[in-house]
Every structure is written in structure tokens, then in C-alpha cells.
Amino acid sequence: MHLMIKILLAITTITLLTVNPVFSQTSTPSDYPIYKDGKLTIPRVDTDAQTGNYQKVEFQFDNSSNSWKLINLVETKIIPGPATYEEKVEAIITNSSPVQVFLKISGAFSNGCAFFQQINQTLKSNKFEITLHVGPNPFPPDIACTAALVPYEKIIPLEVYGLPAGTYEYSVNDEHNGAFTLTKDNTL
């Protein structure tokens, strides 16, 4: 009997260790500003016009002038409309307390080399603005990309913890719009 309990406990432990129960974007150290060897790297800079308008912004400190010099940035202009083909957005709201809200985005990339560079969100008033940045081909030029559509599904957790009760809207690349309601203040 004890052997069966130990086996069941081992199987349960292994299952819990191999399953990731949290829907989240990958969080790496590069998601945050980094200062190293006199160089400051800021992964994302928002403007009034667009969330994540500038990415991978790098400044180098110049001791001779006692100032920061801009050495690199990537400007990512988002053209309103879907970022990919056959894009669909669905809001998923949990019954837990506090409530969690996820946007399930699915569609197809135009080729096998496309990917999401960054996915940014901001909350302005009661509207979540989600910006999908489809990255350029990161592979060497001699790598051939498939020309076929490549399906994907991405789960984006909205930062709703601590929000007061009310109706909130969302917009994905100014194309897919929707709303959800928090029936009570979203705290513990």
C-alpha cells in the first residue's frame, strides 16, 4: 500500500513539474532595462502614437561630455490592421478571485521565418492597447523560409489585478476591438 502511495506521489510530482500552468509571455532579463559597462539598453519605449514604437534602444555614457549618446534603436511602425493572416482575438475571463483576463490571439504567419518580436500592452483610461510586433527575418540570408502560411496561437495575460470594477476595452493593433467587465474590484 505504501509503495502505491509513493508511486502516485512521484507521478503527481513529475506531472506538476513538467506542466506549466501559467499562461504568460516569456519573461527574460531583456524585458527590463539593463545597464552594463557604461551602456544602457532599454527594450521598449512607448510614444503617444504607439506602444513599443522604439525597441532595443541603446545609450552609451560619454565621460568626456558627461552625457548619454544614443547609439542604436529599432523603430517599429505598426500599420493598423491585422499583424498576420486570418487573425482572431478571443477574450478569456476566469472565474477565479482575483479575476484573470487573457487574450487568445490566433492566426497564421506569412512564412516560416516570421515571429513575434515583442508583444506590448498599455492601459490608457479603461482601454488596453495591445501591439503585436512581427519581427523581420532573424535568420542568415542563406536560410530558406517556407512560403506557406504557418499557424500560431498566443495567449496574452492582461494586467487586470488591482483594477476597480468596471467595463474595460481592448484593441489589438487598432484592428480587433472588444470589451469585458470586472463586476467587482479585482483584488484579494
Q: Reading across the β-sheet that carries 176-182, which strands appear in turn?
A: 115-124, 127-135, 166-172, 176-182
pLDDT of residue 54: 83
Q: Reading across the β-sheet that carries 54-62, which strands appear in turn?
A: 34-36, 39-45, 54-62, 67-75
Cα–Cα distance, 152 to 97 (Å, whole number): 30
| Burial grade of 114 (CB within 10 A; 0-12, 13-18, 19 or more) | buried
Cα–Cα distance, 115 to 145 (Å, whole number): 12
pLDDT of residue 187: 92
- Tens of pLDDT along the chain (188 residues) come to 555 444 444 444 444 333 333 333 444 445 688 888 889 998 888 888 777 778 888 999 988 999 999 998 888 776 655 667 788 999 999 999 999 999 999 988 888 877 777 788 889 999 999 988 776 666 677 777 787 888 989 999 999 999 999 999 999 988 889 999 999 999 98
Query: Which residues, at least 6 apart from 3, have a Cβ–Cβ distance to it below 8 Å?
Result: none
Nearest Cα neighbor of 75 from 110, 37, 105, 49 is 49
Are 134 and 150 within 8 A, CB to CB? Answer: no
Residue 24 cell numbers, joined: 504568460
Give the other-Cβ count within 10 Å of 90's Cβ. Answer: 11
How does 131-158 read in b/e, with b if 16+ C-beta sit within 10 Å? bbbbeeeeeeeeeeeeeebbeeebebbb
